Amino acid sequence: MKIGILTGGGDCPGLNAVIRAVTKSALRRGWEVYGYLDGFKGLVEDRRRRLTDRDVSGIIIRGGTILGTSNIANPFSYTLSPYGSPGAPADMTERAIRNFRKLGLGALVAIGGDGTQSMSLRFHKLGLPVVGVPKTIDNDLSATDFTFGFDTALKVATEAVDRLHTTADAHDRVLIVETMGRYAGWIALRAGIAGGGDVILLPEIKYRPADVTAAIRERRRRGKNFSIVVVSEGAAPEGGGMTVMKTVEGSTDPVRLGGVSYRVAEMIEKGTGIESRVVVLGHLQRGGEPTPFDRWLATGFGAGAAELIAAGRFGRMVAVRGPEFVSVPLSAAVGKLKRVSPGSCEVRAALGVGTSFGRADLAARLLKRVCS
């Protein structure tokens, strides 16, 4: 048996831990392992390297990916030269499948988020034996309780909120922390709760500018001269849209969000007269060593992927449900994002300790409920 591995989409702490787990599990079964370079680009262009036990030794603690990755290498609409361009994308699926079969591979492990798993599903329907491993710091895949990389990003974001308390207090300012997350607010929500944020703005709860500024003025009235606002990059005001930084042609998700924190800072200064400063965490959340939880999760996912291959169960994605590692059909893993429920217990817990979500009506409604 020969198997291939690729990492698609953005980089993420824990990718190397998955590569290690898949490789070690495969080698112990007597298989050969090949890593495709730069995600699906390596499959299209037949760029790969053979992985040995030595290659993956010690990489469990390293961030990034030893194979490289790409979030624009879509074989179904390939925009990278020499085969395609943003103006004239090419369908490179036949070439990718031909390269896979030329090497004599019996399976492909595709590690990535919604875009990668969507492409994996399409390849599986074309007859390629694919197994998926879920990866995204956004934690927005509905078929698994957690994706690796999320815990590391949450740790970085929470530490940033922690550190900003002292400088906000020293200068009587409003400090605004912008997190990643795209269309799901998990990082902002949990970093805001864990770091004691005073206002949390999420994509799932459209904020009202007047309610945000009222919450900050109320803190001033109670003698609290600084405030911390944690805002997810996909947050938007009621009746308004998300802040789009740019679009990237050829990507499975071409919209790049970013900069909402500057809009929020301007809004707060106009509404309160309080000096407001911005910290955009950006790629800091995706870098560095993975946390112990992410290493554990990634190892379980990688070993689970090898088990699925050994059992011939293709077209599935490894997932975690409660304390158990399971698998789900790729068709159930994509297309539906897991987003924060505005009525969830953790939102109500934050409201219960006085956190504002920029919606006074939400607080009045939810605080009457009991979380059971």
* Residues that are catalytic: 138
Residue given tokens 């291959």 in the structure block: 309
Assess contact for 232 and 177: CB atoms under 8 A.
no
Cα–Cα–Cα angle for 115, 140, 119, rounded to 5 degrees: 15
Strand intervals (E) in 233-275:
244-247, 255-257
Cβ proximity of 206 and 363 under 8 Å: no
Measured between alpha carbons, how far is 154 from 285 in angstroms, rounded to an integer? 8
DSSP letters spanning 123-152: HHHTT--EEEEEB-TT--BTTSS--BTHHH
Residues 323 and 304: their CA atoms lie apart, in Å, by 14
- Give the C-alpha separation, 23 to 220, whole Å: 56
The contacts of residue 158 (CB under 8 Å, 6+ apart) are 190, 191, 194, 195
CA pair distance 146, 184, nearest whole angstrom: 13
Q: Determine the Cα–Cα distance for residues 212 and 200; give it in Å rounded to an integer.
A: 9
Sign of CA dihedral 74, 80, 82, 83: positive
Rounded CA gap, 213 and 273, in Å?
Answer: 10
Residue 99's alpha-carbon distances to 56, 78, 85, 87, 116, in angstroms, are 24, 16, 21, 25, 18
